[in-house]
Amino acid sequence: MYILENLKLFGLNKYEALAYIQIVKSGVATAKEVSRGSDVPYSRTYDVLDSLEKKEWVLVEASKPYRYRAEKIDVILDKKEKIVIYE
C-alpha cells in the first residue's frame, strides 16, 4: 500500500489511486477492466476515470468502449513541479 499512500500525497483519492495503479499494470484498460482489477466499484469507475483525465493522470483513446492509458509518472511529476514553480 506504499504506492497508494504516495499517490494520495499527490492529490489523488483512494479510488483514483487504485484506478491509476490498475491502468499502469494493464498498460491500457477499459472502465470494466479497471473496475475488475481494482477495488473501484463499477458504478463509480467512470466518475473516477473522468477525474483522472481532468487531472491529466490518464489519456483516453476515442474508441468503443473508451480505453484508458496512464500518463507517464515523470510527465505528471514534471507538470506538478512547474505548477509549484509558477505559484
Q: What was the pLDDT predicted at 59?
A: 95
Which residues in the chain land under pLDDT 50? Answer: none
Q: What was the pLDDT predicted at 2?
A: 86
| Calpha distance 70→76 (Å, rounded) | 10
Is the distance from CB of 34 to CB of 17 less than 8 angstroms?
A: no
Q: Where are the domains of the chain?
A: 2-86
Average pLDDT, the chain: 90
Is the distance from CB of 66 to CB of 28 less than 8 angstroms?
A: no
> Topology of 2-86 in CATH?
Arc Repressor Mutant, subunit A (1.10.10)
Question: What is the pTM for the complete model shown?
Answer: 0.87
